[in-house]
Amino acid sequence: MKTIKGLFVVLAGMLLLNSTSTIAQEQTRPEFVTITTMHWNMDNKDFKMEEWKAVEKEYLDKVTMNNEHVANASFYLHRMTPDNTEILYAQSYPSWEAMGKAADRNTELEKSAWPDEKARTAFMKKRDAYYSPKHSDEIYATMPHAKRMTTAPTKDMICYVRKGHFAYGEGNNEEFEATSKEYFDNVTSKNEYIKAYYPMAHAWGSDRTESVEAFFLDSMADLDKMFDRDTELFESHWKDEAARKGMEEKSAKYFDGRHGDYVYTYVAGLAK
């Protein structure tokens, strides 16, 4: 991968430091995202992917789609991660209060969708049978300078996730806001292989330094093309070596150097 790749999370870290004030200016953007990391029930010997999709689609149509407190919801399947049993479920909310209200609303909608208690219990048991009891939850704050999906995907997509860690030290708001905007405007937003881009930062969970960036692409082949194109765009905007070095040095102070890469399949038919 190109060295320019290291700038992605650096800039996301810069955005975190200014996210609270910017969120107030972007009321159309959901404020929070919950990521539930679940695991397949490996003892389920009758597992069929299409049957799982049908069960989750029924729940989506009858409950999640009707829950006004949930802005978006989507599933992500393991593709290139350390754990092949992993499955992610992401939901976004317009506010912190909406997260609490969403759970209560789900209960109401479940009772409405399956008014017979036995039928409701049977469906939930069938749904739960696909998953291991083990799961974990993280809450992230959304950040500005996202590249939004222009139309709802009609087919599965590649979701490349990059996790980084912020360095809390020298720097100032004016510098990181100006630098992050300049990079987004001239690289990420112009990269035609990136169909959508969503940066997030830790709000509640196990690691307060964590940042997450999600890049949506049409195919695995577009992943390397994305990095090559980023390099082209970076070198086109910062035209000489001195300018590029200056940008990298300014950015580096906001990031501690660690990162992890993950690739998931976004399930198009199971999304709000």
In a domain, 25, yes or no: yes
Write out pLDDT tens, residues 101-149.
Answer: 999 999 999 999 999 999 999 999 999 999 999 999 999 999 989 999 9
Among residues 114, 137, 160, the one where a domain terminates is 137
Both 15 and 111 in a single domain?
Answer: no
Beta bridge partners of 89: 36, 75
How are the residues of the chain apportioned to helix, strand and coil, as percentages rounded to the nearest 5? 45, 25, 30
In a domain, 272, yes or no: no
pLDDT in the model for residue 19 = 39
Residue type at 265 in one-letter notation: T
Residue type, 88: L
Do 232 and 151 reside in the same domain of the chain?
A: yes
Residue type, 211: S
Residues 81, 263: contact at Cβ < 8 Å? yes
133 and 150 assigned to the same domain = no
Is residue 24 within 8 A of residue 94, CB to CB? The reply is: no
Residue 194 included in any domain: yes
Residues 148 and 41 in one domain: no
> 């049993």: which residue's tokens?
85
The structure's pTM equals 0.87
Residue 204 has pLDDT above 70, yes or no: yes
The 3 state secondary structure assigned to 60-98 is: HHHCHHHCCCCCEEEEEEEEECCCCCEEEEEEEECCHHH
Let me know whether 46 and 111 are in one domain: yes
Clarify whether residues 130 and 175 are in a common domain.
no
Select from 85, 117, 137 the last residue of a domain: 137
Question: For the residues 140-166, what does the mean pLDDT come to?
Answer: 93
Residue 22 has pLDDT above 70, yes or no: no
Structural domain boundaries enclosing 153: 3-29+144-267
Domain end: 137, 163, 195, which one?
Answer: 137
Domain count for the chain: 2
Percent of the chain with pLDDT over 70: 90
Nearest to 15 by CA among 150, 224, 197: 197
Task: Please indicate, yes or no, whether residues 190 and 259 belong to a single structural domain of this protein.
Answer: yes
DSSP-derived secondary structure for 181-221: HHHHHHTGGG-TT-SEEEEEEEEESS-TTEEEEEEEES-TH
Q: Which pLDDT score, from 0 to 100, does residue 176 have?
A: 75
pLDDT tier at 168, thresholds 50, 70, 90: confident
Same domain assignment for residues 157 and 213: yes
Find the distance separating the first CA and the last CA of the chain, reported in whole Å.
33
Q: How sure is the predictor about 26, in pLDDT bands with cuts at 50, 70 and 90?
A: very low
CA-nearest of 33, 59, 219, 189 to 125 is 59
Q: Are residues 72 and 202 in the same domain?
A: no
Whether residue 25 is found in the same domain as residue 48:
no
Co-location of 153 and 262 in the same domain: yes
| Residue 93 belongs to domain with CATH number | 3.30.70.100
Model confidence pLDDT, tens digit, residues 29-76? 899 999 999 999 999 988 999 999 999 999 999 999 999 999 999 999
